[in-house]
C-alpha cells in the first residue's frame, strides 16, 4: 500500500531517448522484465553506483564501459541482481551487452547493463537475449511509463516524474523513472534511477548536476537501512535542446536545469519511500539546531532506523519516549538533553527534554493518525539543519521480506 | 515464544542477599511489579549504566548514590521507566528511595533505584510506597526466581542463572537475574541485570570483574539495535564466603570467580536474546579473519541489525545474498570480497565471495530450519575474531511493539 502515490501518466518524452520494453520471461511469465534505452549520438551520461563492496556484475561492467566510451544504450533486467555470481556473472552481463550492441549496431562498450532482483543466482542469458528483439521493436520516445513498470520488483506503483521548463525561450524536459521499495538507504540501495534531459549538460556541469540532485533526494531516504549491491542512478543529457553547451555548473540556465533535475529526483526518491515495503506512513524527519549537517543526519537516521520508532508509527502510537531514546543514543556525547524539543507536525510534544506542558495523548494520537507525518527535532546547539524521509515498519514489511523468494 | 529457554528453578541463594517481591498494582493489578534487595553490611557493589544521553531519573540517582555511599538496598519497579520525566521524575525516585530507607532503617543514599517500562510518564509514587511493606515482609535469601519474575516486562520467561564453585576449598556462589527482550543492543538497553556473589571481591577486582563479564555477555547481544534509557547491570559482592579479600583482578581465586561470573552473565545475556521480542530463532554470529576486534564487531552488528537478514531467518530462507549485502555495506572500504567465506553451522555457503560450489538450496534450507543457527563469516584479512548473539525478526516483533501501550 503506497502512501499518497499514484502512477504518473504525464511523463514527457525527452528528445534523443527512445525506450522499449518486453516480457522476456526472465523469472516469471507474462511480466514486463526487460527494458532498453537507446540514446542519440553525442549523448552525455553521468552515473553514481552503490558503495557496497559486494557490487554486482552489471555495476562492475557499467563502470568499466563508462570509462572507455560514451554510452549509446542501457539495458535493464529485473528478476536477478546478477550479484554474488563471480566471474561467470560478469560474462553473463557481457553477453547481454553484446546482444544489445548487435541489435543496435553499436560497440559492446557503448552498452551499460543494470540488473535488480535476487542476489547470488545467475540469470537466464538466453531468455534475456531473446527479449532484446521485441525490446528493439518497441523503441519509442513516449515509452517512459511502460519502462517505469518494467523495472519494478517489489514496487507496487510505477515511479516516474517529469518537468518541462523554459530556458532562454527554449523548452527543456527532464524525465526520470526509478524502482525501489526495500533495501533502501543513503548511498544508494536496491534502487535504480534513470533520469534524462535534453539540456546540453556535459563535463563538470553534468557530474555536478547529478551529485547535487542525488544528495538532496536518493541520499536522503531510508526504508530499512539496508544497502544493496546493485544501486545506480544515471543522468542522461542528450543535448537535443537548442541551447549552448552547459559545461560549468554555474549560470542561470544551468541553475534552472539543476532545479528541474532536483525536483524530479526528489519526487522519485520520495516515491520510493511512499512505496516502502509494507509502508502505511510517509514520515519526514527534520533535525535542526545541530552544530553541523553531519550530526543532524546522524540523529535523523538514528530515528529513521529505529524499529521501535517505526513500529510506533505503524501503530499510530505517539510513543515519544522512543524518539527520546533514539535521539539520546545517536552518538552525540555532549548532547544537553534539557535543550531538546520535538514536534509532530505542528504539535509540540517535547520541550526542554521532557513532555511539553500542553501536550496531551489525544492530540498526539490525532497527529499520528495522519498518513503523512513530520517529525521535527531541535537539538538546541547550533544552526545546522537537515531533512530525510522514511516510512513505518509494519507486518507487511516482514511478510514481504520473509516470503520474497517463495 | 522463547527459543530454547525455560525458567531456571535452581538459583542458589547468595549469603548476604535477601529478596522480597510484591504486586503493588503499579500499572496492572495482580502482577509482581516491585522488588527489594537487602544487602548485608560491608557489601561492595559495581554497576554499569546506559550510555543513552536521555538516561532515566533512577539511573541519575543510582549513579549519584553510588558515589557517596555503599548500597544497602536495591528497589526495582516495572511498569514505568521514569525516563523523560524531568526534575519531577528525580523527586519521585528519591521519594521511593526514602521509603525504602525508612522500611530498612538505612540512609536514603544507601538505596539504589531501578525502573523499567514506558518512557515519559511519571509513576504512581503512592502505590510504590505502599508496596514496600509487603516487599519487606517477603524478604528471604531463596527468592531469586520470584524476583526474576517480578522484574519482567515484555519478557515471556523469567531469566536467572547460577553457579557454585569451589575456591580454595570454600564454596562460592554466583547468582544473577535479568530482564529484557526488546530495545536491546550493546552498551546496555531496556535491560536490568543483578548479579550477586558471596566472593569477597572489592575495589579494582570488583570493577574489573563486572567490566570483563559485561563485555563478553550483555555487550555482545542485540535484538533490534535500540538502546534504552534505563539499562543497568549490577554486580554485588557480599564477601560472606570465608576467603581472603580479592582486591586485585589477578590470581587463581579471582580467575575462578571471574569465570563463574562470566558464565552467569553470558547465560543471562543469551536468555535475553532467546526471549527477544517475537524471536523464533537464536542466532550466533561469529566473524573471524578480521584485522582487529573492532571490524569484526562492525560486520557482526551490521548483519545482526539488517532487517532483511532477520526476516530471512524468520522465514528459514537461506537467502545468503542478504548476508553478502550486509557484509559489503559494513563500512570496511578495502574489503577484498573475493576472500570472504560464510558458513551456516557446518555448511559452507559462500567461498571466494560467491556461492560455494557444493552448496545446495536444500542443504541451506535444512540448516535454516533449525531453531538455533550459527553464522560464521571469515573476512580473510587477519586473525581477529568476535562473536555476538541475536534473534530473527518476526510478525510478532511488530505486533508486540505496535501494541505495547494498548
Domain boundaries, chain A: 17-274, 282-402
Distance between CA B30 and CA A120 in Å, rounded?
A: 53
Give the chain B residue whose CA is nearest to the CA of A183: B308
* β-bridge mates for residue B195, sequence order: B176, B235
Cα-based angle A85, A88, A92 (whole degrees, multiple of 5): 100
Q: Find chain B residues with C-beta within 8 A of A54's C-beta.
A: 324-325, 327-328, 337, 353
The CATH superfamily label for domain A282-402 reads ArgJ beta chain, C-terminal domain (3.10.20.340)
Is A380 touching B (CB cutoff 8 A)? no
Binary contact (B54, A332; C-beta < 8 A): no
Query: Which residues of A184-302 form beta strands (DSSP E)?
Result: 192-197, 232-237, 282-290
Going by their DSSP bridges, the two strands B232-237 and B44-49 should be labelled as: antiparallel
Chain A nearest-CA distance from B237, in A, is 31
**Least-confidence region, from A103-117, A183-197, B10-24, B31-45:** A183-197
**Least-confidence region, from A65-69, A139-143, A317-321, B351-355:** A317-321
Instruction: Identify the segments of chain B with pLDDT beneath 70.
Output: 1, 181-190, 223-229, 400-401, 403-406
A91 against A321, higher pLDDT:
A91
Q: Which residue has the cell 534523443?
A: A16
Q: Given a cut of 60, is residue A183 above it in pLDDT? A: no
Give the pLDDT confidence score for residue A232 in this predicted structure: 83
* β-bridge mates for residue B178, sequence order: B159, B193
Is B365 touching A (CB cutoff 8 A)? no
Is B317 touching A (CB cutoff 8 A)? yes
Q: Find chain A residues with C-beta within 8 A of B322's C-beta.
A: 119, 226
Chain A nearest-CA distance from B231, in A, is 12
Give the chain B residue whose CA is nearest to the CA of A334: B53
Q: Which residues contact B139 (CB under 8 A, 6 or more apart)?
A: B18, B19, B20, B36, B38
A277 labelled binding-site residue:
yes
Is A355 touching B (CB cutoff 8 A)? yes
Binary contact (B321, A83; C-beta < 8 A): yes
A321 against A364, higher pLDDT:
A364
Nearest to B401 among A119, A308, A354 (CB): A308
Give the chain B residue whose CA is nearest to the CA of A227: B329
Chain B nearest-CA distance from A113, in A, is 20
Give the pLDDT confidence score for residue B318 in this predicted structure: 86
Q: Copy the grid coordinates of residue B213.
A: 563479564
pLDDT band for position A59 (50/70/90)?
very high
Backbone torsions φ then ψ of B221, nearest 5 degrees: -125, 155
Tell me the mean pLDDT in the region A377-389: 95
Chain A nearest-CA distance from B311, in A, is 5
Q: Given a cut of 70, is residue A190 above it in pLDDT? A: no
Is A52 touching B (CB cutoff 8 A)? yes
Percentage of residues in chain A with pLDDT exceeding 70?
A: 94
- For residue A79, the Cα-to-chain-centroid distance in whole angstroms is 18
> What is the fold, at CATH topology level, of the domain defined by B17-274?
3.60.70
3-state DSSP call for residue B227? coil
**How big is the A-B interface in CB pairs under 8 Å?**
202
Give the pLDDT confidence score for residue B146 in this predicted structure: 97
Percentage of residues in chain B with pLDDT exceeding 70?
A: 94
Backbone torsions φ then ψ of B18, nearest 5 degrees: -120, 145
Give the pLDDT confidence score for residue A363 in this predicted structure: 95
pLDDT in tens, A245-297: 999 999 999 999 999 999 999 899 888 888 877 788 999 999 999 999 999 99
B85 labelled binding-site residue:
no
Q: Find chain A residues with C-beta within 8 A of B59's C-beta.
A: none
Give the pLDDT confidence score for residue A216 in this predicted structure: 86
Q: Which residues contact B91 (CB under 8 A, 6 or more apart)?
A: none
Chain A nearest-CA distance from B334, in A, is 8
Is B59 touching A (CB cutoff 8 A)? no
**Which of the residues of A are catalytic?**
190
Chain B nearest-CA distance from A306, in A, is 6
Pick the most confident of A41-45, A158-162, B100-104. B100-104
Q: Find chain B residues with C-beta within 8 A of A183's C-beta.
A: 308, 325
Interface test with B, best of A325, A355, A359, A381 (most B CBs within 10 A): A325
Contact B23, B32 (CB under 8 A): yes
* CB contact residues (below 8 A), chain A span 279-308, against chain B: 305-308
Q: How far apart are the first and last CA of chain A?
A: 20
Nearest to A325 among B228, B329, B393 (CB): B228
Is A333 touching B (CB cutoff 8 A)? yes
Is A369 touching B (CB cutoff 8 A)? no
B153 labelled binding-site residue:
yes
To the nearest whole number, what is the mean pLDDT of chain A? 89
Is B311 touching A (CB cutoff 8 A)? yes
B406 labelled binding-site residue:
yes
Count CB neighbours of A141 within 10 A.
Answer: 14
Count CB neighbours of B164 within 10 A.
Answer: 12
**Which of the residues of B are catalytic?**
190
Distance between CA A273 and CA A220 in Å, rounded?
A: 10
Is A362 touching B (CB cutoff 8 A)? no
Q: Which residues contact A344 (CB under 8 A, 6 or more apart)?
A: A318, A320, A364, A367, A368, A373, A374, A375, A376
B401 labelled binding-site residue:
yes
Distance between CA B101 and CA B40 in Å, rounded?
A: 14
Nearest to B354 among A84, A393, A401 (CB): A84
Q: Find chain A residues with C-beta within 8 A of B84's C-beta.
A: 320-321, 324, 350, 353-355
Going by their DSSP bridges, the two strands B159-167 and A341-344 should be labelled as: unpaired
Cα-based angle A214, A216, A218 (whole degrees, multiple of 5): 50
Q: Given a cut of 70, is residue A310 above it in pLDDT? A: yes
Binary contact (B53, A314; C-beta < 8 A): no
* CB contact residues (below 8 A), chain B span 123-182, against chain A: 182
Nearest to A225 among B307, B350, B405 (CB): B307
Amino acid at each position: 500500500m503506497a502512501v499518497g502515490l499514484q502512477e504518473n501518466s504525464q511523463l514527457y518524452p525527452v528528445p534523443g531517448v527512445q525506450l522499449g520494453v518486453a516480457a522476456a520471461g526472465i523469472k516469471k511469465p507474462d511480466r514486463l522484465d526487460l527494458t532498453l534505452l537507446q540514446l542519440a549520438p553525442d549523448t552525455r551520461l553521468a552515473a553514481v553506483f552503490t558503495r557496497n563492496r559486494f557490487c554486482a556484475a552489471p555495476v562492475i561492467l557499467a563502470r568499466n564501459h563508462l570509462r572507455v566510451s560514451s554510452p549509446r544504450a542501457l539495458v535493464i533486467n529485473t528478476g536477478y541482481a546478477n550479484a554474488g555470481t563471480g566471474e561467470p556473472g560478469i560474462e553473463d552481463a557481457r553477453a547481454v551487452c553484446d546482444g544489445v550492441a548487435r541489435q543496435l549496431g553499436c560497440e559492446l562498450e557503448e552498452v551499460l547493463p543494470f540488473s535488480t532482483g535476487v542476489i547470488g543466482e545467475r540469470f537466464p542469458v538466453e531468455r534475456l537475449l531473446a527479449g532484446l528483439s521485441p525490446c528493439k521493436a518497441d523503441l519509442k520516445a513516449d515509452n517512459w511509463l511502460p519502462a517505469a513498470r518494467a523495472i519494478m520488483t517489489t514496487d507496487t506503483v510505477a515511479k516516474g516524474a517529469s518537468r518541462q521548463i523554459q530556458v532562454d525561450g527554449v523548452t527543456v524536459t527532464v524525465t526520470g523513472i526509478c524502482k525501489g521499495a526495500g533495501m533502501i538507504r543513503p548511498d544508494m540501495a536496491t534502487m535504480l534511477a534513470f533520469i534524462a534531459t535534453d539540456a546540453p549538460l556535459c563535463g563538470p556541469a553534468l557530474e555536478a548536476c547529478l551529485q547535487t540532485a542525488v544528495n538532496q533526494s536518493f541520499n536522503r531516504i531510508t526504508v530499512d537501512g539496508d544497502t544493496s549491491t546493485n544501486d545506480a542512478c544515471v543522468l542522461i543529457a542528450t543535448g537535443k535542446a537548442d541551447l549552448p553547451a552547459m559545461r560549468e555548473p554555474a549560470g542561470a540556465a544551468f541553475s534552472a536545469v539543476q532545479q528541474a533535475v532536483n525536483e524530479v529526483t526528489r519526487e522519485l526518491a520520495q516515491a520510493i519511500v511512499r512505496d516502502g515495503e509494507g509502508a502505511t506512513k510517509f514520515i519526514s524527519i527534520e533535525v535542526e539546531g545541530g552544530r553541523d549537517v553531519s550530526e543532524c543526519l546522524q540523529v535523523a537516521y538514528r530515528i529513521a532506523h529505529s524499529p521501535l520508532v517505526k513500529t510506533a508509527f505503524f501503530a499510530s502510537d505517539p510513543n515519544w519516549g522512543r524518539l527520546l531514546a533514539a535521539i539520546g543514543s545517536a552518538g552525540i556525547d555532549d548532547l544537553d538533553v534539557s535543550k531538546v524539543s520535538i514536534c509532530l507536525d505542528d504539535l509540540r510534544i517535547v520541550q526542554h527534554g521532557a513532555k511539553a506542558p500542553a501536550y496531551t495523548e489525544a492530540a498526539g494520537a490525532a497527529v499520528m493518525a495522519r498518513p503523512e507525518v513530520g517529525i521535527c527535532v531541535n537539538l538546541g546547539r547550533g544552526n545546522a539543519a537537515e531533512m530525510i524521509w522514511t516510512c513505518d515498519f509494519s507486518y507487511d514489511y516482514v511478510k514481504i521480506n520473509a516470503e520474497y523468494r517463495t
